[in-house]
Chain A
Amino acid sequence: MTIKGHVWKYGDNVDTDAIIPARYLNVSSTKDLAAHCMEDIDPAFAASVKKGDIIVAGENFGCGSSREHAPIAIKGAGISCVIASSYARIFYRNAINIGLPILESAQAVREAKKGHELEVQIEAGTIRNLTTGKTYRTAAYPKFMLAIINAGGLVGYTKARIEERRRG
Chain B
Amino acid sequence: MGQTLAEKILSAHTSDPVRPGEFAQVRVDVALANDVTAPIAIREFEKIGTGKVFNPDSVVLVPDHFAPNKDIKSAAQCAIMRNFARDQEISHYFEVGKMGIEHVLLPEQGLVLPGDVVVGADSHTCTYGALGAFSTGMGSTDIAVAMATGEIWMRVPETIRIVYTGVLQPWVGGKDLILYTIGKIGVSGALYKAIEFAGQAIDALSMAGRFTMANMAIEAGAKAGLFAFDDKTRTYVDQRATREYTPYAADEDADYAATIEIDASLIKPQVAFPYLPENTRPVSEAGNIPIDQVVIGSCTNGRVEDLRVAAGILRGKAVHASVRCIILPGSQQVYLDALREGLIEDFITAGAAVSTPTCGPCLGGHMGVLAAGERAASTTNRNFRGRMGHPESEVYLVGPAVAAASAIAGRITRPQEVL
Interface residues, chain A, CB within 8 Å of chain B? 13, 15, 17-18, 21-23, 25-28, 40-41, 59-60, 63-69, 71-72, 86, 88-90, 93-94, 97-98, 142, 144-145, 148, 153-155, 158-159, 161-162
Contacts and interface: CB of A to CB of B under 8 A. Distances in A.
7 contacts: A21-B364, A25-B36, A69-B36, A72-B40, A94-B139, A158-B149, A161-B149
B187 A63 contact: yes
Contact of B385 (A28, A41, A68, A155): A41
B374 to A, nearest CB: 15
Interface stretch (B45-53, B316-324, B347-355): B45-53
Given A66-B138, A68-B140, A145-B23, 6 more contacts: A17-B387, A22-B387, A27-B73, A40-B391, A68-B37, A162-B149
A64 B188 contact: no
A16 to B, nearest CB: 8
Given A28-B77, A155-B47, A22 B364 contact: yes
Contacts of B382: 15, 17, 64
Interface string B71-111: 10110010000000000000000000000000000000000
A7 B234 CA distance: 53
Contacts of A64: 123, 382, 384
B141 interface: yes
Contacts of B245: none
B247 interface: no
A27 B170 CA distance: 44
* CB-based closest 10 A-B pairs: A94-B139, A22-B363, A68-B139, A26-B73, A144-B23, A60-B188, A40-B391, A66-B123, A66-B137, A97-B141
Contact of A17 (B74, B144, B385): B385
Contacts of A154: 141-142, 145, 153
Given A15-B384, A60-B221, A155 B121 contact: no
A153 B145 CA distance: 11
Given A40-B386, A64-B382, A93 B187 contact: no
B161 interface: no
Given A60-B187, A60-B188, A144-B23, A89 B365 contact: no
Interface of B: 23, 36-37, 39-40, 43-44, 47-50, 65-66, 70-71, 73-74, 77, 120-123, 125, 137-142, 144-145, 148-149, 153, 187-188, 191-192, 221, 223, 276, 363-365, 369, 382, 384-387, 389, 391
Nearest to A41: B385
A67 B36 CA distance: 8
Nearest to B390: A40
Contacts of A25: 36, 65-66, 363, 365
A13 B276 contact: yes
A136 B346 CA distance: 62
A18 B276 CA distance: 12
A159 B45 CA distance: 11
Contacts of A161: 149
Given A17-B386, A64-B384, A94-B139, A155 B365 contact: no
B221 A88 contact: yes
A60 B191 contact: yes
A63 B187 CA distance: 8
A88 B190 CA distance: 10
Contact of B123 (A65, A69, A155): A65
A9 to B, nearest CB: 18
B48 A159 contact: yes
